[in-house]
Structure 1
Amino acid sequence: MNRFEQQLRDDAQRTNQALYACLKTSGRDPQEAVFQAMRYSLLDAGKRLRAALVLEFGRMSDADPEGAMSLACAVEMVHAYSLIHDDLPCMDNDDFRRGKPSCHKAFGEANALLAGDGLLTLAFETAASANLPESARLEAVRILSQAAGVAGMIGGQVIDLESEGRQISAELLDTLYALKTGALLRAAAALGCIAGNAPQAIHSAADAYATAYGLAFQITDDILDVVGDAEKLGKPVGSDGENRKTTYVTLFGIDGARQRAAEQIQRAMRSVEQLPDNGFLLWLAELVLTRDH
């Protein structure tokens, strides 16, 4: 294990601990059922890549570690909410997520819907309560709201639903990915900069990095949906094909999609090449091209 892999694991562990604290209850609350569903979908789940972006750009900006961690938790809450809602029968109708039953399969559709709502609202409470200057907290809430709303993830989901069963252009597909996947990654990078009041040069580099990183990440998702291992992915493969969705693979083939993912990763790496101590960001970008889940 190299030092960057260790850093990602350490960041994930610290983020999980902070998230656990955010959702710790007595277990005797009358609304405990929804807390259980929230914890089920949020805790010890995934690599915490979005949190890692917040924390890394926060480090580059000399952010208060506690304040940056609050924003990292807020981003992960928004991400978990989006996955719960994406899996619902009225959306993508997926029964598995990260190797276990989706939230609505484990807790029922109503509790899953409310768990997603609970995580989304808790995200803004967490960001607004961060140990940061008031101006930074306000800007963080604005950025997170935009990324989660109709100009971001919700807008992307609408395009995704409307695109099922029909061919769409590469340009519209890029817009879909930029909103549904890229918006929260861009927000994560921006929140790290906000936590440390970073200069404009770091803000610009962070946004360019996250934009290219997000598109490459989604392109590799398209590839893994065709050639991936369901056990490693923790969900069935081939769902995009079954839903007749346009993807980078249907537009450009496996090799073409891989080439475009590699081009985006090169763009991401170039965007931060002038930043000091950029090794983790370069490694994280390269990881996209070799990931299997």
Structure 2
Amino acid sequence: MVDVRRIDQEIRDFYYKRGTIVSEELIDAILYSIDGGGKRIRPILLLQIVEGFGVELQQAHYQVAAALEMIHTGSLIHDDLPAMDNDDYRRGRLTNHKKFDEATAILAGDSLFLDAFGLLSLADLPNQVLLDLVQLMSLASGTFGMVGGQMLDMLGEGKKLEIFDLINIHSNKTGRLLTFPFHAAGIITQQPSSVVSSLWQAGMLIGHAFQVRDDILDVTADFDELGKTPQKDLAAEKATYPSLLGLEESKFIVQDSLNKAVAIFKELEEHNGFKGQDVYQLIESLRING
């Protein structure tokens, strides 16, 4: 059973048990966003899939999961900055640059991006597994993944995009980091390449569904539901799935993508002994009702 508290504890231990603290103020800003009420979807998925292959969770697995959450949190801090999405609230609280200041928020995000690899390096895993995870995390989060996708997203503001442009933005900005836990779990449990490929496909489908879902909620949800300013994409004149395809078609894409991901896990259950009950529950929580 995944213990979410251990994810957070690994992050806190990294900052308070690694040696002399250089700046308490910086750590305060980092932990403000870490403790901001995130659902921990990415690290939980990673740990659930590792467990689903019959592997007992160890500290090393929680360290990999925590490193992933650090990357994600750093991206949110930077996304909220005035030069990016320029939002005052995240998860119902002031964003990092509003709670502290813009320079502190930039540095907190920088720290989380870099410190994630420091924490990952501590995981007691086989050397090749650890090397593969470092490479995978870099590709998922940097120029060839999340950061590259954010650049495409900014360049697309106020422009008329086609659906393939939007898919390219989302598959990198959001999809790659959401695919990481699936791919990484296959590497950690040393699955054959065919299984790792299936996990990667499931991750891409869920990453796609997650971003389309986010586009829908930006239009349909209010501040209390989102914890941040609604209709930000509309105000920024961003292309979204609802703006290009309409709400009903967008909802269908979410459902269809999640159904296809579930089908992949059913195949893994049948042929590879995977136990997917916890993963199914998390996938179901992503569905759009109504």
User: TM-score, normalized by length of structure 1?
Assistant: 0.91
Q: State the distance in 2 between where 1:123 and 1:29 align.
A: 17
Match of 2:271 in 1: none
Deviation at 1:60, TM superposition (A): 3.1
Q: Percent identity?
A: 34
Aligned residues: 284
Deviation at 1:201, TM superposition (A): 3.4
Give the gaps of 5 or more residues in structure 1.
Answer: 1-6
CA-to-aligned-CA distance 1:188-242 (integer Å, 9 cap, x gap): 2122222222222331221111100011011111111111121121101011100
Give the gaps of 5 or more residues in structure 2.
Answer: 269-273
Distance 1:142 1:291, change over 3 A: farther
What does 1:267-282 align with in structure 2 at a 5 Å threshold?
267-275=260-268, 276-282=274-280
CA-to-aligned-CA distance 1:71-122 (integer Å, 9 cap, x gap): 1011000000100111111111111111101101111011100000101111
1:245 aligns with 2:243: no
Deviation at 1:291, TM superposition (A): 7.7
1:16 aligns with 2:8: yes
What secondary structure, in the 3-state scheme, does the structure 2 residue paired with 1:235 have? coil
Match 1:289 to one of 264, 287, 290: 287
8 Å CA contact 2:75–2:109 kept in 1: the answer is yes
1:37 aligns with 2:35: no
Q: State the distance in 2 between where 1:143 and 1:133 align.
A: 15
Match 2:191 to one of 198, 217, 239: 198
Q: State the distance in 2 between where 1:291 and 1:259 align.
A: 11
Distance 1:30 1:24, change over 3 A: closer
8 Å CA contact 1:57–1:206 kept in 2: the answer is no
Q: CA RMSD in A?
A: 2.0
What secondary structure, in the 3-state scheme, does the structure 1 residue paired with 2:285 have? helix
Distance 1:131 1:291, change over 3 A: farther
Q: State the distance in 2 between where 1:60 and 1:249 align.
A: 35
1:135 aligns with 2:131: no
- More displaced stretch, 258-267 vs 16-25: 16-25
8 Å CA contact 1:81–1:115 kept in 2: the answer is yes
CA-to-aligned-CA distance 1:121-146 (integer Å, 9 cap, x gap): 11001111111111111111000000
Q: State the distance in 2 between where 1:32 and 1:25 align.
A: 13
- More displaced stretch, 113-122 vs 202-211: 202-211
Distance 1:91 1:291, change over 3 A: farther
1:189 aligns with 2:182: yes
What does 1:71-150 align with in structure 2 at a 5 Å threshold?
71-150=64-143
User: TM-score, normalized by length of structure 2?
Assistant: 0.92
